[in-house]
Amino acid sequence: MKYLSTRDKSVRLSAAEAIKMGLSRDGGLLTPETVPTMGEAFLQSLISAPYPVRAAKVMALYLDDYTEKELLSFAEGAYGADRFDTPAAAPLRKLDDSTYCLELWHGPTSAFKDMALQMLPRLLSAALEKTGEDKTACILVATSGDTGKAAMEGFADVPRTSIMVFYPKDGVSEIQEAQMVTQEGANVGVCAVVGNFDDAQAGVKRIFSDEAIRETLDRRGVFLSSANSINWGRILPQIVYYVSAYCDLLRDGAISMGGKVNFCVPTGNFGDILAAYYAKRMGLPVGKLICASNKNNILTDFLRTGVYDRNRAFYTTMSPSMDILVSSNLERLLYDLSGENDAEVRGYMDALSRTGKYEVSESIKAALDGLYWGGYCGERGTSDAIGRYWRGYGYLIDTHTAVAADVLEQYRAATGDRTVSVFASTASPYKFCDSVLSAIGQTPQGAGVGLLEQLHDTTGTPIPSRLAALKGKKRRFDLSAEKSGMDKVVLDFLK
């Protein structure tokens, strides 16, 4: 199967090449030329399979230049007991007969990014082999908090790779920052950027498209690649857990084969919910895709009006990984919904970069309407939802998950739809102790890692062991730069 650029269909790459490059040279996103299908027999065969087998079988449908055996060995490594604290990797938690929570934070950095970023380095290393690449891959990452740490954890000391992470200086939680600046590994670098996530992401995208930097690095035997969710190797492992959740519901008798399930996803860059869309396109019986935003509700507006308009205030919220105004992965959806019309997508993206705004066609609007429901939850609502779930279910959720939980309730109130629904839980509450403690009526005593114990003592829930280990870890990085200085940071890092 080939991978095409959303902005130019004549760009055709193998899966290994697409994963190696991350982003197409024309700025487009590399996207599979066809969507494979899963029948009932396929799903049936996964019901009693362990998570790594589910992962290998689903991923093999897209990666025909990797063998299923190879993929299984990657998945067993990625989701093994030294990395994930449960063999289920992505367990479902039942709240009531029609409401489940898909816990995606059992990996090494306690955020859902691990689901893909434990897999991507393995896919990329194999891609270097498969394509006969002799250069070193440098992964450039712009992070709103969770991707950076998860990517470094995945790539640390992986041969023939290095990784440089940029995060917004005041846009991440103290625990997130502590996780990043204490990262071990000889091939990692971290830099704070003065600005917000969109500034960091724009800086990284610009470096990618800079010919002069490319040539300089080429002479040094290095090429740039991406671990952001623009890389197909990020989206694909995320499709797996939607399929896995469906299989778990079948196994537990919550639904029968063919029964529909809604997914509600706390959304930022549109990667996670795009993976759910692909699962649906592959034949998974999915009802509505419910797109949950925080106060930065650009996607809610887009899904309701068909107008994407980033000319608006940017808010820093208690769910920082969703503080995004340009959701890159929407481009893949537009490509698919436009009937793979690369010229149309190019038009939208040109308008976005020229005017900060575009309006999709009537046919895309109609398609969006059938597939999605968009809603948002502000700061107060997020905090209230954490308190409500703690008191009502004895279930402690983080600030991002709370947005999804609340928007799912809004959706049900607005539509009366009682279909079995799963909301994604994307981070451990221990990554956001401060907001979570306040939400359950406690006064935080201290800051950062100092709050882990308090949340544990108050709720009796376990502290993820790697977060507990942050206490007393030495800070290794103290670099910061203006947006305009990011080039130099990259060039110095790769000296």
* Residues belonging to the active site: 113
Helix (H, G, I), strand (E, B) or coil at 67: coil
Helix (H, G, I), strand (E, B) or coil at 162: strand
Any idea what the Cα angle at residue 483 is, between residues 481 and 486, rounded to 5°?
65
State whether the Cα torsion 291-295-296-298 is positive or negative: positive
What does residue 287 show for φ and ψ, rounded to 5 degrees? -85, -110
Distance CA 15, CA 306 (A): 32
Distance CA 190, CA 173 (A): 15
Binding mask 407-426 for ligand PLP (x = CB under 6 A): -------------------x
State yes or no: residue 272 binds ligand PLP (CB under 6 A): yes
State yes or no: residue 270 binds ligand PLP (CB under 6 A): yes
Residue of 269, 293, 296, 297 interacting with ligand PLP (CB under 6 A): 269
Per-residue tokens: 216:
């300089």
- Count the neighbouring beta carbons within 10 Å of the beta carbon of residue 316: 14
Distance CA 245, CA 51 (A): 10
485 DSSP 8-state letter: G
State whether the Cα torsion 346-34-138-482 is positive or negative: positive
Binding mask 362-401 for ligand PLP (x = CB under 6 A): --------------------------------------x-
Residue of 321, 338, 383, 421 interacting with ligand PLP (CB under 6 A): 321
To ligand PLP, the closest distance from the beta carbon of 321 in angstroms equals 3
Candidate ranges 19-27, 107-115, 153-161, 457-465; the one touching ligand PLP (CB under 6 A): 107-115
To ligand PLP, the closest distance from the beta carbon of 426 in angstroms equals 3
Any idea what the Cα angle at residue 186 is, between residues 184 and 192, rounded to 5°?
65
State yes or no: residue 402 binds ligand PLP (CB under 6 A): no
Binding mask 175-194 for ligand PLP (x = CB under 6 A): --------------------
- Count the neighbouring beta carbons within 10 Å of the beta carbon of residue 252: 12
Candidate ranges 119-127, 131-139, 266-274, 366-374; the one touching ligand PLP (CB under 6 A): 266-274
Does residue 467 contact residue 178 with C-beta atoms inside 8 Å?
Answer: no
Candidate ranges 106-114, 151-159, 334-342, 466-474; the one touching ligand PLP (CB under 6 A): 106-114
Residue of 9, 54, 106, 113 interacting with ligand PLP (CB under 6 A): 113
Per-residue tokens: 237:
């492992």
Q: Which is nearer to ligand PLP, 233 or 271 (CB)?
A: 271
To ligand PLP, the closest distance from the beta carbon of 270 in angstroms equals 5
Distance CA 80, CA 74 (A): 10
> Position 3: which residue type?
Y
Q: Which is nearer to ligand PLP, 270 or 373 (CB)?
A: 270
Count of residues near ligand PLP by CB under 6 A: 17
Distance CA 237, CA 119 (A): 7
Using DSSP bridges, classify how beta strands 421-425 and 99-103 pair: parallel, antiparallel or unpaired: parallel
What does residue 154 show for φ and ψ, rounded to 5 degrees? -75, -40
Does residue 154 contact residue 271 with C-beta atoms inside 8 Å?
Answer: no
Residue of 266, 381, 429, 464 interacting with ligand PLP (CB under 6 A): 266
Candidate ranges 185-193, 268-276, 278-286, 471-479; the one touching ligand PLP (CB under 6 A): 268-276
Does residue 116 contact residue 104 with C-beta atoms inside 8 Å?
Answer: no
State yes or no: residue 271 binds ligand PLP (CB under 6 A): yes
Q: Which of 377, 279, 345 shows the shortest CA–CA distance to 37?
A: 279
Q: Which is nearer to ligand PLP, 126 or 292 (CB)?
A: 292
Contacts of 450 (CB under 8 A, 6+ apart): none
State yes or no: residue 323 binds ligand PLP (CB under 6 A): no
Candidate ranges 105-113, 176-184, 254-262, 342-350; the one touching ligand PLP (CB under 6 A): 105-113
Binding mask 127-166 for ligand PLP (x = CB under 6 A): -------------------x--------------------
Q: Which is nearer to ligand PLP, 195 or 271 (CB)?
A: 271
Q: Which of 274, 291, 239, 307 shows the shortest CA–CA distance to 90?
A: 239
Binding mask 202-231 for ligand PLP (x = CB under 6 A): ---------------------------x--
To ligand PLP, the closest distance from the beta carbon of 151 in angstroms equals 11
> Position 32: which residue type?
P
Contacts of 343 (CB under 8 A, 6+ apart): none
Does residue 264 contact residue 424 with C-beta atoms inside 8 Å?
Answer: yes
Residue of 32, 189, 233, 268 interacting with ligand PLP (CB under 6 A): 268
Residue of 162, 196, 267, 293 interacting with ligand PLP (CB under 6 A): 267
To ligand PLP, the closest distance from the beta carbon of 410 in angstroms equals 18
Residue of 111, 123, 245, 408 interacting with ligand PLP (CB under 6 A): 111
Q: Which is nearer to ligand PLP, 189 or 266 (CB)?
A: 266
Sites of contact with ligand PLP (CB under 6 A) = 111-113, 146, 229, 266-272, 321-322, 400, 426-427
